[in-house]
Structure 1
């Protein structure tokens, strides 16, 4: 019964205990060993699980190609790269890795039913839980310093600083994912909750500060804004929208866990909440691509048609 609620107990799953070597445990008569199943405990309550699987299917159909396109664009533009591109590249790579694990998830649900495959999936869940909020925070930090502390930003423009910060985030990500894979840590879900709440708070601070800087940059009686600050505000605002839409719903349900029955929370509430987090693997690259004036590697006719449509919407009525 320790493997109960295995599939969507992404936080506190504990491996079944194993007896010491060279010992035997007598089994009661007329009993058969039940094979490991990631659906165990939710066999008759699969609606929430199906919803999350549909979202993960969207990730592999839309999110995986979009993340690969983002990585290709960043490599193509590496000579004219932005200071945040290293964080964007790491984020796209992690989301692409999470998308590649979707077929493994389906195969393990319906065919393999393997504990080893489940542990690999748990590691990918840990990577997804941590890499998104932390790398988004790094992008926000980069824009924050660029707008409010331009002199310090000029001194810290070297790639070495951002590579070091990215390495630190990757280290924290893999440490969190490893701890989740091992499982059994008490109150482990509070780490994720605190992480997302801190990220959300930081995003709000970034937006407020950059908006304040934008207002100060306007001339008397004029509405024009500094182009760099205006671009930075749009970037951070899009990041805040991602945090609110994709990460906050999951965090919001954790304080009310005790108000639901264990099976209802595990089979319905938790998978739907994680579905909002999982779909960020598609939303994040699409938001980045939408900010580009021209998307490389696309047919010229499609690009012209898309740009013509944007100009028509921007023209005054």
Structure 2
């Protein structure tokens, strides 16, 4: 579901409820603005989401900045997905600075203007993350399954054009989210997340299936480079399922929950899994590098201990062209 229409922190309400700032009777007293939007006494789900987002501030923000630094440093020998990775890292870094502002607005400022800027950042996260990941999956899908076509479409202009399109869609969605009041606008995010999740899963499974089949004649073992690519794609598929499956599984069944339960508990928990991707995605990218610039190996292992344990068995790939 879309945050602007039914998020616990939204300034608008569900269609089944009266808006916070209006009533059915014009002569009735107008309720004051509340950043909790009816969840003032049911804040557990909101705080869970914000606690998860705090990890983005501590780990995700520096990780995304480091990803941008690595991409800039390697700009002379870029991979085809670097422009998508750079846009995704920039948007995730922007989203990662918002949790302190959200906390301050909840418990100190309580400003409607500040909440409008927060809603815009949520719109950026809701749209840019899934769409840029879908672009990365498309790039790899074409590279593995259609290598001849991929060679013809390697020019950067195609990826720049696609990135501009995604950015336009992101800012249009975020602006509409900030304004609010559009009928059935919350269904836009539901449709987007279902479509992109399905596309990413299909792409990655197709890539894994193709790599699994591409073994040498009479050999049981996969080529070492293809084996590395296979493990990389498998790890990305696991992350996509972990981050996107909860909202995909929960949000389409809004009608089965009471409005308060869905708005105050189900949505924040579902979005928490989506929001933590701002930390997981850059760490996965950094863990695949043979050498992370600006950081010692000890520091990298501490930040990416779980992924590094797997990479110690198989040397990681420094760069990728798909």
Provide the TM-score with structure 2 as the length reference: 0.83
What is the Cα deviation at residue 217 of structure 1?
2.0
Q: Which residue of 2 aligns with 1:87?
A: 84
Question: 2: distance between equivalents of 1:11 and 1:233?
Answer: 45
Aligned partner (choices 38, 47, 50) of residue 47 of structure 2: 50
Q: Where does residue 258 of structure 2 map in the other structure?
A: 261
1:240 aligns with 2:237: yes
Report if the CA contact (8 A) 2:39-2:264 is conserved. Answer: yes
The residue that corresponds to 1:124 in the other structure is 121
RMSD: 3.1
The number of residues matched between the two structures is 303
Q: Distance in 2 between matches of 1:313 and 1:96?
A: 28
Instruction: Report which stretch shifted further, 184-193 or 174-183.
Output: 184-193
CA distance in 2, matches of 1:228, 1:12: 52
Shift of 1:191: 1.6
Structure 1 equivalent of residue 317 of structure 2: none
Moved more, 38-47 or 236-245: 236-245
Residue of structure 1 equivalent to 2:61: 64
Please name the residue that 1:20 is paired with.
Answer: none
Counterpart for residue 275 of structure 2: 278
- Over residues 66-111 of structure 1, what are the superposed CA-to-partner deviations in whole Å (9 max), with x where a residue is unaligned? 1001101111111121110100000000000001122221121111
Counterpart position of 2:313: 314
Is 1:66–1:286's contact at 8 Å kept on the other side of the alignment? yes
CA–CA distance in structure 2, aligned partners of residues 50 and 69 of structure 1: 28
Q: Confirm or deny: 8 A CA contact 2:119 2:178 kept in the other structure.
A: yes
**Does 2:88 match 1:73?**
no
Q: How far did 1:250 drift?
A: 1.3
| TM-score (ref. length: structure 1) | 0.85
Q: Distance in 1 between matches of 2:301 and 2:252?
A: 49
User: Which has more radius of gyration?
Assistant: 1
1:214 to partner: Cα distance? 1.7
Instruction: Give the counterpart of 1:105 among 102, 106, 109.
Output: 102
Task: Provide the residue aligned with 2:202 in structure 1.
Answer: 205
The aligned counterpart of 1:38 is 35
Does the residue aligned with 1:79 lie in a helix, a strand or coil? coil
Distance 1:6 1:228, change over 3 A: closer
Gaps spanning 5+ residues in structure 2: where?
315-322
Alignment map for 1:92-241 (pairs within 5 Å) = 92-226=89-223, 229-241=226-238
> Counterpart of 1:180 in 2: which secondary structure?
helix
Alpha-carbon distance change, 295 to 118 in structure 1, aligned in 2, over 3 angstroms: same
In 1, Cα distance between the equivalents of 2:39 and 2:10? 11
Instruction: Return 5+ residue gaps in structure 1 as ranges.
Output: 18-24
Query: Aligned partners of 1:5 and 1:152: how far apart in 2?
Result: 43
Match of 1:297?
A: 294
